[in-house]
Amino acid sequence: MATYLKELYCPRCSATYNPHEPHNLCECGTPLLVRYDLERIAREVTPDVWERRPEGLWRYRELLPVVHEENIVSLGEGGTPVYELEKVASEYGLGRLFLKDEGMNPTGTFKARGAAVGVSRAKELGLKTLAMPTAGNAGAAWAAYTSRAGIKMVVVMPQDAPLTTQAESVAYGAETYLIKGLISDAGKAVREACAKYGWFEVATLKEPYRIEGKKTMGLEIWEQFGGNLPDVILYPTGGGVGIIGMWKAFNELRELGWLKGRLPKMVAVQAEGCAPIVKAYREGKDKAEFFQGAQTIAAGIRVPSALGDFLVLDAVRKSGGTALTVTDNQILDAWKHLAVTEGALICPEGAACVVAAKKLAEEGFIASSDSVLILNTGAGMKYTELLKEKAKLLESGSLVS
């Protein structure tokens, strides 16, 4: 398998690192990104090579960091569908509204993409024990892939993380711990444990390869929209790796000469109860402050401090996008409405983007002629606590003969 992996680089101080050795952050404390030999790819590969391969994440292997094919750890991730939400678009006054359903991935969320590439590289680099803090879904995904790879996994999550993801991590054999507090508190515990036991930390953007898996969402969107990207992409933003990854993918495609048109406006959507990125965006800052008292029913975006905040803000601003908040009640209403209207039982984080699309249409940020894509990052069926609340409505019902 030909490899085009060139180096790791720091987007802040421009330092470079050997990609064939394990690395966490740059010495300046910034997340490292992967650079490929794009000039060589442009000479040796054409887009039709991807078209001839089976659907899935690994069809884009020229723009992925795994050097030897035998190190690929896969459960069939990627290749998730895009479909149109015609009824909701009509209600909201939108021209065309699409949803990319990442709930179709293994373990039920887009986190499988990052886990597939991150674990594959960990295997290739000979790492034996990985550890991460998680809001739930990432821990479940990395637990699944490390199990397949034969690597030990340690997961630390808030004790109020969704019960399904807690159970998944245990079921896949990860050493799983619950902690009082937020994901930031889990992060502190992981840092201390890694320093003590010599584990390798794979928290969001603490290693450079999760983002490479996430960026394949952008590569798929480019293919699924026939090379003409949607005008607006809305993304539920916690750690923000999805936005950073998609923006990286679009720019790599443009540098290859394969993407000719304009890039989409990237919209970061957060919950009102946890909105550090939105606050920084509105205040014109390049970095977000820790969001005190963070709380929202959408566990995946309850991230009070994101290491890659400056990269998210950069993508939003350079694309001409925006950042906005929605309330938990609005999320719940949209979650219910989309299920009964479009037959789409999505995750609360995805529902946040549905609300945001409506708000932006009302404000005129989204024109009626725009094509709009919502990223649904997980399957609604994973959120058993919310489904139980819906099921309670049946308790007073009776079957009449």
| DSSP, residue by residue, 304-351 | S--TTHHHHHHHHHHTT-EEEEE-HHHHHHHHHHHHHHHS--B-HHHH
**pLDDT at position 217:** 98
Residue 188 lies in a domain: no
> Six-digit token pair at 100?
């990319």
The predicted model scores a pTM of: 0.95
Residue 380 lies in a domain: yes
Residue 256 lies in a domain: yes
**pLDDT at position 398:** 45
Banded model confidence at residue 384, pLDDT cuts 50, 70, 90: confident
Q: Can you tell me the distance from the alpha carbon of 350 to that of 334, in angstroms, rounded to the nearest whole number?
A: 9
Residue 293 lies in a domain: yes
Q: Over range 173-194, report the average pLDDT.
A: 96
Find the domain containing 248 and state its range: 82-109+210-387
Residue 175 lies in a domain: no
> Six-digit token pair at 64?
């992925």
**pLDDT at position 328:** 96
Each residue of 164-183: b (16+ CB within 10 Å) or e? Answer: bbbebbeebebebbebeebb
Q: Over range 328-333, report the average pLDDT.
A: 96
Confirm if 373 and 236 have CB atoms less than 8 A apart: no
Residue 396 lies in a domain: no
Residue 324 lies in a domain: yes
- Alpha helix ranges (H) inside 231-327: 241-256, 276-282, 309-318
Question: What value does the CA radius of gyration of the chain take, rounded to a whole number of Å?
Answer: 20
Q: Can you tell me the distance from the alpha carbon of 237 to that of 352, in angstroms, rounded to the nearest whole number?
A: 10
Domain count within the chain: 1
Q: Over range 130-154, report the average pLDDT.
A: 96
Q: Can you tell me the distance from the alpha carbon of 16 to that of 163, in angstroms, rounded to the nearest whole number?
A: 41
Judged against a pLDDT cut of 90, whether residue 390 lies above it is answered with no
Question: How far lies 308's CA from each of 265, 294, 295, in Å?
Answer: 19, 18, 20
Over the chain, what is the mean pLDDT?
Answer: 95
Mapping DSSP to helix (H, G, I), strand (E, B) and coil, where does residue 249 land? Answer: helix
Judged against a pLDDT cut of 50, whether residue 363 lies above it is answered with yes
Q: Given strand 322-326, what is the order of strands in its sheet? A: 82-84, 96-101, 371-376, 232-236, 265-271, 322-326
Which CATH number goes with the domain that contains 341? Answer: 3.40.50.1100
**pLDDT at position 273:** 97
Residue 218 lies in a domain: yes
Judged against a pLDDT cut of 80, whether residue 389 lies above it is answered with no
Q: Mean pLDDT lowest for which of 21-25, 124-128, 182-186, 349-353?
A: 182-186
Q: Over range 331-357, report the average pLDDT.
A: 96
Q: Can you tell me the distance from the alpha carbon of 221 to that of 228, in angstroms, rounded to the nearest whole number?
A: 9
Confirm if 347 and 353 have CB atoms less than 8 A apart: no
Residue 283 neighbours by CB distance under 10 Å: 9
Main-chain phi, psi angles of 322, to 5 degrees? -155, 175
**pLDDT at position 280:** 98
